[in-house]
Structures are given as structure tokens and as C-alpha cells.
Structure 1
């Protein structure tokens, strides 16, 4: 039976005794490491039912064979064939060659090579070093599959979660909306095969102890592109996708979509609590559609918290309209985005001090300081940007009663395949590194408290006075006071703190510091040029003297009685 979802395959006809070779070069090459084992698989058949030999070679960029094995293809029916290949060398730009030996007609499809050493050793799983960087952050949630990818250039290329679950070979490939989005870095070979789909995203969130936050299309394509919308009276399929997704995530293994999840290997619920309706949409068209989604979802699943959109900017007419409308609708969580210059982040550290405590919770869903300008390919993940984000985040933490969630974006970028910068984590085919921004995010994430406490200077929050920004929390589990302090000054600053409450007698505070020149960056060659340096500090009584290096970010964990 032919595959109606993915009807295309390669037919190779060999009419002579000369071998014929086809090559899969991967996406910007394949990273192969010496001594590692790689799982090759292919769906194949022989047109006349005979048997034929297929040799599989891992080939270096220079043409050297790093690993090889043979498979016997037999019969007219499609079958999955697999073999493991051990690599005799390392190459960042390797490829896989299929050598068809002898006469005959062979059909092949779903050609795949995966390292066996994946995250949790799952076949066809995620790249271990990239997931480890995420896990080390101890994130509270994972937002997936992204933002604009949900919308699509047009609705025909929107992200449809149902097409990303089930058997890999039944997941329909589509063009990626970033394929030709940016003229300065076109990527005509960029497609979505959905080997990484919603099941894998849920699994990833569970693996690293994070809450899943899926984002769904609300019947609107990207308003910067086609701005295509579904009429309100034709939204039912989109609404059903949302309701079915909740069943897929949380439903019993006997329910229609819970059964799909169970058959994929996860009979237990994924414990979904949050669901995003649209990404970065704006205007009355969005509000009208959000109302319909909210009514339908809350009627059946009142426990699910919905994330709504305040639009693509942090202020202005569109933002104000969305914020006011969503407040009137008593929205659960409103997603605000800001890609701005470092100066904006410094001047907006107090942004949420005056937000209505009775209004919707805020999700700072996408933000990153732009060293040059928004969308500029010249943006860098430099220390000035990271430090300004740290200053801004002290305001997020200080207002944690309003700001419910926050996430830097974008998350990952390939050094050869990026289109947008800055990005939190960079990688090539063999290695990866966290930016200074990554380490700022990590220091906040792994040093969360259980309650906020006031940190005042002259009866005011420390948010830019004398170039200093700060926040404070208490961790009731470890009995520690945790301070985050940013010194944006060009000189070292001495700070004396008086703690209302007793510090542990003869205690040792743990201190992490980051500082560098404003334009300094990390790289593959020097991945920790800017990274936290840990030290200790003796404390006693209720006073604490700190020396804040120039243009620095510090985290201090102080033991309490």
C-alpha cells in the first residue's frame, strides 16, 4: 500500500554492472564522531521482488569512508531495514552514501542516520549536549513549537500538531516558513519533516522537569506575511484541534487521543496545565477569535490556563488595545514580547511595578536585547546585552506576583544555518555553547526563591539608582536569602546591606559573579569566556558588605538561621 501522506520516494534503476550511488548530505552536513555508533534506517523494496545489495557508507567531507555496512533488500513490499555503523573518524560535514550494487530497480524512502548516543539513549532521539544545556537551567516550562512557526506564512503552512504525532513515516513534510522569510539569509533547503513533533516536545518537557506550554494556531496566519484569517463561523476545526490536544496530553489511555499518546509509549498523562492561543497576533480579529477559543476550552477544561497575545510590541496602539481588551475578558495570562536595545531593558526594569495586581498574569514570552537593531543580522550576544537583561530580570523577579513566566527567545541557533540573532544557545554539528545571556538566565533559574522580600535603598526599590539594579527572594527550603545585583557602572561599587532578620552566625555566603567588556562574547572556540565564577563570603550579624565589580551581575546566597 502506498503512503498517501508522504507519496514521494526515490526509485533507483541500475541497468549495468556499475554501482550507482546517491548521497544524503544532511542539513549543513552531518556531525560524526570517532568511536561513536550510528543507527542507519531506510524503507525499501525491490520492484520485481528479487534481492539486491545496498551498501551504506558514512563519508567524510574529503571522501574518506568512516564506516560501512551492507543490507540485503528483498521483496516487493515496503520494509524497514536498519543497521548500525561504527565511525573510524570525526567529521563535522560528513554525509551518507547509498551504493546500489547490481542490476535491478530499488525504491527507497525515509533515509535516516542517527547517533545512538542520544538524550536518554532514545532511538532517533534528541541531541544530548543541547538537551543537557536546557536541563542545566532547570527551566520551569518549555514553550513549543515556537512562535511564528505556529502561524505559518499562510494557513496552509501553519503548524498542525496532529500531523506531528504517531509513526514517523506518517508525518507529512511541509515547507518551513523560514525557508524564504529573510532575504539576507535564504534557506531553500529548510523543511519540516516533524521527526520532532508534539509527543517529543511533551516528552522533553517531562524529562527536564518543566511544564509543557504548547502554542496553537487560532485561525490566523502571520500578520506580517499573508495575514490570512479563517472566518469566525469556520473555526470549528481549529477549536477541535485545541480540545483534542488537551485530550492527547491529559486524557485516559482509553480516550481517542489519549490512546494515540499511550500507543506512542506514554500511557500516563503529561499533566498539561497551560495552552497558548495564537502567537503575537493583534487587533480585533485576534480578540474575536480568542473569545471563542476561551469559551470553548474553559467550558470543557476549566482548569487549563490560557496564554493570550498582546501583539508583537511592548507598547503603542496595538499593545494598548490588546491589553485593555484582555483585561476586560479576565484573561488568565497575557504574553508580552520585546526585542529592544539594551537601554530599553535598563529603563524598563520597573515596568511591572505599577501593573494592576487584579489584572491578568503576565508572560514575558519572548525577549532579548538587540545590540544593533531588531532583526539585524549584525546583532551579537555580547555582555552589554546580557547585563541589561539581568537588570530587567530583577524587575521581573521583584514583580513575580504579576509576572508569572518569562523566557528568552530564540532558544537555539546553528552557526551555519541561522537567520535571526541574538540567540540563547549556539551549536554546530559537533559542539555547542551557552552565550553570556544563557548564563544570566541560568543564574536566575537555578536561584529561584519561594517568596519575594523587599530590597530597598532610601525606601525605594533598587532599579537604576546610582547604576544599580537588584532583587531579593528567600528560599524557605534551603533557608537562604538570595540576592541578584547588577552594577552597570564603569567602576567598582561598594554596597552595604542590612538584613532585617538574623543571618546564620559565622555563615558562609556563596557568590557567583559575571563581568566582561561590553562587546565581549562567547564562541565555539572559547565557550566560557563569560561565565559565572563562584566564591564564598563570610557573613555574621545582620550586615553584609559587598564589592560589585564594574559592569557586573552577581548572585549571593546567604544562609539564614
Structure 2
């Protein structure tokens, strides 16, 4: 035993100096090298995890238009999703999804209710994960804009009132009386909530007879983009996106943009524009309905509000290749015909108000053209079945709009024969286009591949359109823990060092509603009331806030450390990621940097730590200062940390 203890003591003494081994970083601000991309960090928005409906979209009611239907397994009861009928069990009525003489051909289903005994109540429970949890979130004193379309078929007599209520139909607001006529008519009212609650929107039918109901809507009065035709967005989520300082916005999705299984599921941008009651809802690739309240007009408006380049994605004549395909791809002839839809999209965004599609944009409230410099054709596609169609569609775009950069997909994986074949095809046929790489890998892969883009030829530029570090599943989801965020941060130092090649990069997925998600991890979590920021979010925010104009030559000696140094005209940014298990003393030698202090922002904590709705601030960035004298600064890096220093440069 004594020999074992002595051996352990010797080992601990040998290891102790290693744990606190000092590191040195040297960078000369005058030794600027590659020019950096000014569109490096952005956002990828896809309606997965209820990111749009039930999330960013301000609509509080679920299935407001009774269009809910599983495309592959339709059942009549699906039209009732989100609604409770005969809430107090006092009335008697038949509620039947109907399609005769609808509000609009694109909006074919409405609810026809024939009341035999009153009162009959129907209530929308909002985006509740079950009938007994969640609901329509309302706050005492806050106002909510309501609207509904109704039609009296001719024999309904009696009153109709609408109110915000609790789950037992007890009123939480004033009542609004409605008297429908024999034709479709829109009724509007602004409610004031009398309580803070998870509520319902309840329509009380106090008479008998038959009437039709469609497009019931309830939105907070305080919302972002309330003037947009779709109705607006949830303010706290928009502010969260703005805080990322994105340079581009990719939308409306990856797999969502393509559709899955059958062509009826493909995303058609023309279904998403115009008045909301005239938009054709569609079943989402991820298993729920898309109302298209956030349509292409709203996406362009959001990009504009964010100060970001809009980057729309359109399918390539193929359904999602990563899923089972039940219908054939478009023929080459049909692909050419479909290309006109893409040209129409560009005209909608950039055309003069005198053009057919530009005039629709103007009618929707944006007479001036939107900015549009990028267009992705396809998502995670591969092989000649894709590249031949991409060739046709991209050529159509380039002939009419040569100023637009087309983006070609390289497939859904990082390594192996598939991306190798894709890159060979792309370099041979589409070398001038931007190449969209996607990969979701374990955290260790990102550390091993920090130098991935060091090896790429500088002939064809890269768009890293989707990526995230995946940790082992815990509690039914892959966690957004600090370690995954730091592995991404380490990888991002390689992206910045190679940003002459990697022109754009964005984490995915962006948003997830707690309790209603299909994919993890996700950058931002939310529920009906709160937003939860992850360590991964803070890494993206920290890096996007400190993008230089040029990469600076630098060298780092130290264990478990990753770094990049960049600069602008007036600042030097030094980013250091530590995966070391203990703190590391760091000496920075930066000749030419004036004496004074540098500010820094730092994220650190326990390796597997996560934020939670009950503890949202476990891991948050902290600010600090570091003195520099004679071009030398000394500091200590915490274990498991990312630190970004900003050193002022002499003018």
C-alpha cells in the first residue's frame, strides 16, 4: 500500500505542473493576411420544433382555419385540432368541417355549426402540448387583437359572443358581440385581459340554427411587424434574433423547402403571399400544419429588419432525398417549367412595382424592392439526379439575374464518398457558385476538424449552411451544454481563419418550443412566455459581435487551446477557447498595441452544465478588462471557457 501511495504522489506531482502549464499567444496586428467575409455569421430559420406556428409567429390560436390535416394519413377529426367543442356540456350541436363555398379557394375548410340547444361553446386552447397544459398566454391589463370570419347560412337566430376565458369558460375579458350576415364577413375587436393566465379564446353560441366560422385569430397588441399582412411576430423572439447581429437570414427551411414524400407537400412560395385568408396552408415536413402566416413577404421583411441579407431556399425539382420518396422527381421538362416559379420569386422580391409580382409586393406594403443577392437551389441534395436539375435552374437564374449568387448543395454529410463525389461535380460544373455544406457531428469531431478548411482549394467558396455539435442524449434530448458550445467555438476559430473560403455559416436548428420539438439540440428554446438562451447561443453572439476585416498572423503555445486573431481598422480581436480541465495562465504578446486596457467577454462553467427555464443564467457571458503594457498582456483563462479580447488599435 505504501508503494502505491508513493507512486500516486509522484504521478500527481508530475501531472500538477501540466494542469496549470502557462500558454503564450503572439500576434502582430500589422501582419494582416486573408480578408474576412462580411457575411460570415447569420441565421437559418426553419419551421421545425414549432419555430413559426406556435413560436415566432404572433398567432396565439392553433388551427385557426380548421385546415389541420395529416397529408399522408388524413382523418376527419384532425380538423378539430386545437379546439374544444361544447366546453360546458350544456348545449347540443353538430360541428362539421365543410368546404362548400369557402372563404377562398386556397382556404377550403371551415367549421359549419348547427346548434340545436344553446348555449354551445367552442374554445381554442392555443398551442397546448396537451388538453391540460399550456394554453393561450395572457397578461393582466394587456391587449389582444381578435378577428374571425363568420357567415349566417340563413336560419341562425340568437346571440354570439366572444371572450378570453379560463379553461372552465369563466370570462377573463369583456365580451364581444357578433351578428353575422348571409355572406362571409370579418369581425374584429381588441380585448383587454383582466388576469394573467393560460387561457382560451371562447366563442359562445347563444341561439340555434346554422352558421359558418373560419380564420379565428388572436394576437398580442404589442408585437413586431403588426403592420405586415401576416399579422406580426413575437417581439421577444425577434429581439433575441436581433441580438445575434446576423448578416444573413436563410429561409424558409431545408427539408421544409423541399417537401417530403409527395409533391403536394412541397413548399410553394406563391401559397405564402397575399392576405392571410387567401394563403394555402400545408402539412409540415416535421409533422404539423404550416399556416403560412409567416410567408415569403414576412421573411423578406424580417431580414430587412435584422439588417441581414435574405437567402431564400427553393427546391430543385426533387423531394427531400434523405426521406422515403413516394413520387418521382420532376422531369427535366417539368423542371424547366418550374424554373419560372423561381424567376417569379426573384421578381416578387426585386421587381419594379409595375411588374406582375413586384406589384403584389407593393400591394402587400413594400413598394420598394427588397435586397436579394443569394438564392439556394436545393437542400442536402446529391448525385446527378440533382446536379442536372440544378444546372437547368441555376442557368435560368443567371441568364436573367446575373447579379444573384446561386448556392449549390453538397449533400447532408461531412465525410465519405458522397461529399467527395459532390465536390468533384461542383468543381467541374459549378465552380463559380457558393457550395452549401451541412453536417451534424459529435462534439469531439469538431475539435478534431478545426483545420478542416485549411486543406480546401481556394477555387470554390463554401457556405456552411447547417451545423451543430451533438452530445449524447439525456432525458429525451441532446443537451445544449457548455462543452458542445465550446467545441463549436473551437471550430469557429477555424472558420474565421478560413473566412476567405467560408463566406457564410449558421447554426441549426435555430428555435425550439419546449414540449413540442422534433429535433435537438437547438440554439434558442422558448415556451408560451419565456425565452431560454443556450451556451451555444452565447458563443454565436460573441463571435458575431467581433468579426474582423482581416485575419492576423498568430501563434499559440498551450494545451487544449484554440484561437484566432482578426482585426478591423481600430480594434484587434483575440479569441481563445480553452478545453483544458484547469485554468491556464496566458501571456499575450501583441507588438504595436498601445498601452491601456482591453475589454473582454468570457463564457465559462462546468463542462456539462446547461441553462434551464428554472435556471436560465447558469451560463452567461461576463465582461472584464485586461491591462496591456509594452505590447504584453497577462491573464488567466478559466477551465472550459471561451474568451474574446478587444484591444484598441492606434489610429
TM range (shorter): over 0.9
Does residue 448 of the first structure (1) align with residue 537 of the second (2)? no
Q: Secondary structure at the match of 2:186?
A: strand
Work out the CA distance in 1 between the residues paired with 2:476 and 2:345.
36
Gapped runs of 5+ residues in structure 2?
Answer: 1-100, 129-134
Superimposed CA distance per residue, residues 137-194 of structure 1 (whole angstroms, 9 cap, x where no aligned partner): 1101111011111111122201110100001011111211111xxxxxxxxxx21111
Q: Which residue of 1 aligns with 2:526?
A: 427
Q: Secondary structure at the match of 2:360?
A: helix
Superimposed CA distance per residue, residues 439-489 of structure 1 (whole angstroms, 9 cap, x where no aligned partner): 00000111111221122237xxxxxx621100111122xx11011110111
Q: Which residue of 1 aligns with 2:324?
A: 226
TM-fit CA distance, 1:62: 5.7
Work out the CA distance in 2 between the residues paired with 1:111 and 1:484.
50
Q: Which residue of 2 aligns with 1:303?
A: 403
Q: Which residue of 2 aligns with 1:15?
A: 116
TM-fit CA distance, 1:237: 3.4
Q: Secondary structure at the match of 1:295?
A: helix
Q: Which residue of 2 aligns with 1:185?
A: none
TM-fit CA distance, 1:60: 2.7
Q: Which residue of 1 aligns with 2:253?
A: 146
Q: Which residue of 2 aligns with 1:497?
A: 588
Whether the aligned pair in 2 keeps the contact of 1:377 and 1:420 (CA below 8 Å) is no
Superimposed CA distance per residue, residues 525-548 of structure 1 (whole angstroms, 9 cap, x where no aligned partner): 222211110011122321222311
Q: Which structure carries more relative contact order (alpha carbon 8 Å, separation 6+)?
A: 2
Work out the CA distance in 2 between the residues paired with 1:214 and 1:344.
29
Quick check: which has more Rg, 1 or 2? Answer: 2
Whether the aligned pair in 2 keeps the contact of 1:377 and 1:421 (CA below 8 Å) is no
Q: Which residue of 2 aligns with 1:177?
A: 285
- Residues 540 and 64 (structure 1 numbering): CA distance in 2 closer, same or farther, change over 3 Å? farther
Work out the CA distance in 1 between the residues paired with 2:316 and 2:507.
23
Q: Secondary structure at the match of 1:13?
A: strand
Work out the CA distance in 1 between the residues paired with 2:149 and 2:168.
28
Q: Which residue of 2 aligns with 1:411?
A: 510
Work out the CA distance in 2 between the residues paired with 1:423 and 1:383.
13
Deviates more, 1:435-444 or 1:24-33: 24-33
Superimposed CA distance per residue, residues 414-461 of structure 1 (whole angstroms, 9 cap, x where no aligned partner): 002101000000000011111100000000111111221122237xxx
Work out the CA distance in 2 between the residues paired with 1:51 and 1:540.
85
TM-score, normalised on structure 2? 0.80
Match among 592, 616, 619 for residue 527 of structure 1: 616
Match among 130, 136, 151 for residue 237 of structure 2: 130
Q: Which residue of 1 aligns with 2:305?
A: 207
TM-score, normalised on structure 1? 0.93
How many residues of Structure 1 are paired with residues of Structure 2 in the alignment?
537
Deviates more, 1:53-62 or 1:489-498: 53-62
Output aligned runs, 1:181-200, within 5 Å. Answer: 190-200=288-298
Does residue 338 of the first structure (1) align with residue 428 of the second (2)? no
Deviates more, 1:58-67 or 1:249-258: 58-67
Output aligned runs, 1:277-296, within 5 Å. Answer: 277-296=377-396
Whether the aligned pair in 1 keeps the contact of 2:626 and 2:633 (CA below 8 Å) is no
Q: Which residue of 2 aligns with 1:84?
A: 190
Q: Which residue of 1 aligns with 2:456?
A: 355
Q: Which residue of 1 aligns with 2:465?
A: 365
Q: Which residue of 2 aligns with 1:252?
A: 352
Does residue 26 of the first structure (1) align with residue 117 of the second (2)? no
TM-fit CA distance, 1:57: 2.1
Q: Secondary structure at the match of 2:436?
A: strand
Whether the aligned pair in 2 keeps the contact of 1:47 and 1:106 (CA below 8 Å) is yes
Does residue 540 of the first structure (1) align with residue 629 of the second (2)? yes
Whether the aligned pair in 2 keeps the contact of 1:377 and 1:419 (CA below 8 Å) is no
Tell me how large the CA RMSD over aligned residues is.
1.7
Work out the CA distance in 1 between the residues paired with 2:351 and 2:405.
17
Deviates more, 1:48-57 or 1:211-220: 48-57
Q: Secondary structure at the match of 2:512?
A: strand
Whether the aligned pair in 1 keeps the contact of 2:155 and 2:209 (CA below 8 Å) is no
Q: Which residue of 2 aligns with 1:161?
A: 269
Gapped runs of 5+ residues in structure 1?
Answer: 180-189, 459-464
